[in-house]
């Protein structure tokens, strides 16, 4: 959701900004633009893709050493050229890009309108820019001071980057609630919503915190709080290579990320799980072990796919640790005045670590005294930083909008946590604990094995790609996987799909079943196997088309289903890590067969930084 890029230094700014914007395309956007400083401000913006903007700029004089760029995901005002960022101020002397939402923009707009301001766009961002300019002119102050004064009046979330035509090599930046990374070079600085735009130039970065303002020139980075006090920038070394954000021979990032799962799961286990020694090492859990052991309740907050990982964790933690678990949509939790008792632990699950709803939900719970534990993929992200403890999923950068490898990483981390807590709490037998450790250790190999028959899913996808809707059913640990399978199909192929607990299907969705409806059963061998066989019979009796994900060696379901995909045998606790993969592949192949831009499906954003 909205990507921002900036550069000031000795190189040409435009190519760096454009390349940076392309790296941020994965976040999801509908229009784009750049502003360059070169003896005045030049602003170019357009609805559509970055490549389209680039085409329209061929032959123009784009020479500049300071520039900013933006990909916009529309909130206030439709996707259009005029609503695209950067916005220019009323005088034309300032340009600004913004990621976030200014909640009190209507009030500010009213004040400015009374003063005679008119607006070229429908955006909250242009209002903020003119508000800043108004302060600058009335107070006869510099841009930095005007930004500081303005931000004290603003409610909402933002990262803003500003250019001032009287300061040819300076970018002013500020953040609250949306991500901002500054890359430090020699005689140059880079800015981005994440580190990907600056990866080939520098590994030294500063993660800007909320309520901080940065004044950036080629040779200097000054960080201040809104009280105008200087803050020493905390420089972090990036542990990420360029190859991690490139396609590496795959047609799409999504496919690459699905196929990376044997190694990302292995990376997640590495250095933590030692099955032979019977140990799990997780510093974040160890630091908070007393809190976990004594927790009256665990509340998992998350959104989207991460919420589904939370649902699987609910089953696992309750089973192994005997701690009551609730799984909440962060967007509901943050507004519904939930009861949080002393001793409750909140686990925030998030790939990006920047999802606005999840971030605010944990901030609120923290204020009420809850211990916050983050299960996050992006190192140094906001959720990781405000958590009291945490465990990274180590899945590497996930570029495809639909979460795949991050999801299996979340399952692995949450399973390891449950095992560790259960062991410390004494709620698991030594034998079961030891078995599960070996089971977990074997997951990367099993994922590798099942991916070998990915082509079978391609054939299934061909067969069902024209279906208008689909049903996904599962029980127990596989129920959240049915939800995830349905979500993936919706996101990537635009086919309407619903996920349901297999037995609950009788209370409604069964009315949809006819000889056209594909029904995907996630039916690996577990305690519910016989029950789910009956559910399959119920669908077949109504002529539904059954696609079944089953365990190798299953002798019953293949005789009933129209299409079958086998996954290796695993303990039911580990089964979701395997059974989700054919569903990821199914959505991918259907999406590709339908001509969908699977890495950037319409309307979706990778990192949802507005509520
Ligand atoms: C967006 C993404 C999903 C993701 C969800 C939560 O909707 O498209 O793939 O699951 O946000 O994001 P998070 O980064 O918090 O896991």
For the ranges 304-308, 471-475, 521-525, 600-604, the lowest mean pLDDT is seen at 600-604
The rounded Å distance from CA 560 to ligand 1 centre is 35
What angle, 0 to 180 degrees and rounded to 10, lies between the N-to-C axes of helices 143-153 and 124-139? 120
Return d(Cα 515, Cα 124) in angstroms, integer. 50
Number of residues that make up the chain: 611
First to last CA, the chain: 11
Quote the ligand 1 centre to 402 CA distance (angstroms): 8
pLDDT digits (tens, 9 = 90+) for 475-527: 999 999 999 999 999 999 999 999 999 999 989 989 999 999 999 999 999 98
Give dist(CA 143, CA 327) in Å, integer: 45
Q: In this predicted structure, what is the pLDDT of residue 249?
A: 85
pLDDT digits (tens, 9 = 90+) for 309-340: 999 999 999 999 999 999 999 999 988 888 99
For 386-411, write each residue's pLDDT tens digit: 999 999 999 999 999 999 999 999 99
Of 130, 60, 123, 122, whose CA–CA distance to 89 is shortest? Answer: 130
Beta carbons within 10 angstroms of residue 492's beta carbon: 28
pLDDT exceeding 90 applies to what percent of the chain?
A: 89
CA atoms within 13 A on the CB side of 27: 35
The string of pLDDT tens digits covering residues 339-371 is 998 889 999 999 999 999 999 999 999 988 899
Q: Is position 606 annotated as part of the catalytic site?
A: yes
What confidence tier does 247 reach under pLDDT thresholds 50, 70, 90?
Answer: confident
The answer, yes or no, to whether residue 248 has pLDDT greater than 90, is no
pLDDT of residue 342: 86
Residue of 327, 334, 352, 483 with the most ligand 1 atoms within 8 Å of its CB, for mutation: 352
What's the CA-to-centroid distance between 489 and ligand 1, angstroms?
15
pLDDT of 611 over the 80 cut: no
Phi-psi region of 243 (alpha: psi -120 to 50; beta: other; left: phi over 0): alpha
Is 2 an annotated catalytic residue? yes
CA of 607 to the centre of ligand 1 (A): 6
**What residues flank ligand 1, with Cβ below 6 Å?**
303-306, 350-352, 355, 358, 401-403, 604, 606-608
The three-state secondary structure class of 296 is coil
Residue 303 CA: nearest ligand 1 atom is 6
Q: H-helix or E-strand containing 317?
A: helix 304-321
- Residue 358 CA: nearest ligand 1 atom is 15
Q: Mind listing the pLDDT tens digit for each residue in 44-90?
A: 999 999 999 999 999 999 999 999 999 998 888 899 999 999 999 99
Q: Which atom of ligand 1 is nearest to the CA of 402?
A: 9
2, 268, 303, 321: the catalytic one is 2
From 361, 606, 610, mutation site for ligand 1 pocket: most ligand atoms within 8 A of C-beta: 606
Question: Nearest C-alpha to atom 1 of ligand 1 is from which residue?
Answer: 606
Give me ligand 1 centre to Cα 410, in Å.
12
β-sheet bridge partners, residue 565: 549
Band (pLDDT 50/70/90 cuts) for residue 610 is confident
Residue whose CB lies within 8 A of the most ligand 1 atoms, among 257, 305, 598, for a mutation test: 305
Ligand 1 geometric centre to CA of 249 (Å): 25
Mean pLDDT of 563-590: 97
Q: How confident is the model at residue 131 (pLDDT cuts 50, 70, 90)?
A: very high
Residue 2 confidence (pLDDT): 87
CA 73–ligand 1 middle distance (angstroms): 15
Q: Looking at ligand 1, which atom is closest to the CA of residue 401?
A: 8
Q: 87-88 and 41-47: which strand pairing?
A: unpaired
User: Which residue out of 46, 109, 136, 606 is catalytically annotated?
Assistant: 606
Query: In 3-60, which residue ranges form alpha helices assigned H by DSSP?
Result: 13-23, 50-56
CA–centroid distance, residue 536 to ligand 1 (Å)? 31
Whether 586 and 492 have beta carbons less than 8 Å apart is answered as no
| Residue minimizing CA distance to atom 7 of ligand 1 | 304
In this structure, the residue with its CA closest to atom 5 of ligand 1 is 304
Q: In what order do the strands lie in the sheet with 235-237?
A: 41-47, 31-37, 66-72, 3-9, 188-192, 181-184, 204-207, 235-237
In this structure, the residue with its CA closest to atom 15 of ligand 1 is 350
For 556-567, the DSSP string reads SGGGT-SEEEEE
Q: Judge whether residue 528 has pLDDT over 90.
A: no
Query: Does residue 342 contact residue 365 with C-beta atoms inside 8 Å?
Result: no
State which ligand 1 atom lies nearest to the alpha carbon of 352: 14
Contact 313, 300 (CB under 8 A): yes
């Amino acid at each position: 959701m909205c990507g921002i890029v900036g550069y000031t230094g000795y190189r040409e700014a435009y190519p760096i900004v454009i390349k940076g914007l392309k790296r941020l395309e994965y976040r999801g956007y509908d229009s784009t633009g750049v502003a360059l400083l070169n003896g005045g401000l030049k602003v170019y913006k357009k609805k559509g893709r970055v490549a389209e903007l680039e085409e329209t700029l061929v032959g123009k004089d784009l020479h500049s050493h300071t520039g900013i760029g933006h990909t916009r995901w529309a909130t206030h005002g439709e996707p259009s050229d005029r609503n695209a960022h950067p916005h220019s101020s009323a005088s034309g002397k300032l340009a600004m890009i913004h990621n976030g939402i200014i909640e009190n923009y209507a009030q500010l707009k009213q004040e400015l309108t009374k003063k005679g301001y008119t607006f070229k766009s429908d955006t909250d961002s242009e209002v903020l820019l003119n508000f800043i300019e108004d302060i600058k002119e009335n107070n006869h102050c510099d841009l930095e001071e005007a930004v500081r004064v303005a931000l004290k009046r603003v409610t909402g979330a933002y990262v803003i980057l500003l250019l001032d035509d009287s300061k040819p090599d300076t970018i002013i930046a500020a953040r609250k609630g949306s991500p901002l990374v500054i890359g430090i070079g020699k005689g140059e600085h880079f800015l981005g919503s994440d580190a990907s735009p600056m990866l080939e130039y520098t590994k030294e970065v500063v993660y800007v915190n909320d309520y901080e303002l940065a004044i950036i020139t080629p040779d200097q980075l000054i960080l201040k709080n809104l009280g105008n006090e200087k803050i020493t920038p905390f420089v972090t070394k990036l542990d990420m290579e360029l190859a991690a954000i490139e396609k590496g021979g795959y047609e799409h990032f999504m496919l690459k990320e699905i196929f990376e799962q044997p190694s990302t799961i292995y990376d997640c286990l590495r250095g933590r799980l030692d099955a032979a020694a019977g140990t799990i090492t997780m510093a974040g859990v160890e630091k908070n072990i007393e809190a976990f052991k004594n927790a009256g309740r665990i509340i998992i907050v998350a959104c989207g796919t991460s919420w589904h990982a939370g649902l699987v964790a609910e089953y696992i933690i309750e089973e192994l640790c005997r701690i009551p678990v609730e799984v909440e949509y962060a967007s509901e939790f943050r507004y519904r005045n939930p009861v949080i008792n002393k001793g409750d632990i909140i686990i925030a699950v998030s790939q990006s670590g920047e999802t606005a709803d999840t971030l605010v939900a944990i901030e609120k719970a923290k204020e009420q005294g809850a211990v916050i534990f983050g299960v996050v993929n992006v190192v140094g992200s906001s959720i990781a930083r405000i958590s009291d403890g945490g465990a990274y999923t180590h899945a590497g950068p996930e570029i495809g909008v639909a979460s795949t490898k991050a999801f299996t990483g979340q399952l692995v981390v949450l399973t390891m946590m449950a095992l560790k807590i259960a062991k410390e709490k004494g709620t698991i037998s030594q034998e079961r604990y030891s078995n599960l450790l070996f089971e977990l250790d074997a997951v990367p190999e099993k994922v590798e094995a099942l991916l070998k028959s990915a082509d079978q899913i391609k054939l299934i996808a061909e067969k069902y790609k024209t279906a208008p809707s689909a049903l996904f059913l599962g029980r127990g640990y596989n129920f959240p996987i049915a939800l995830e399978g349905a979500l993936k199909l919706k996101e990537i192929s635009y086919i309407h799909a619903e996920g349901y607990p297999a037995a609950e299907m009788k209370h409604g969705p069964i009315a949809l079943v006819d000889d056209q409806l594909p029904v995907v059963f996630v039916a690996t061998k577990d305690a519910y196997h016989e029950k789910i066989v009956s559910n399959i019979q119920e669908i077949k009796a109504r002529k539904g088309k059954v696609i079944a994900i089953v365990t190798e060696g299953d002798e019953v379901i293949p005789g009933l289903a129209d299409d079958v995909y086998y996954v290796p045998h695993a303990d039911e606790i580990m089964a979701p890590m395997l059974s989700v993969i054919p569903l990821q592949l199914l959505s991918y192949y259907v999406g590709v067969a339908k001509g969908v831009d699977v890495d950037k499906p319409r309307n979706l954003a990778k990192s949802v930084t507005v509520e």
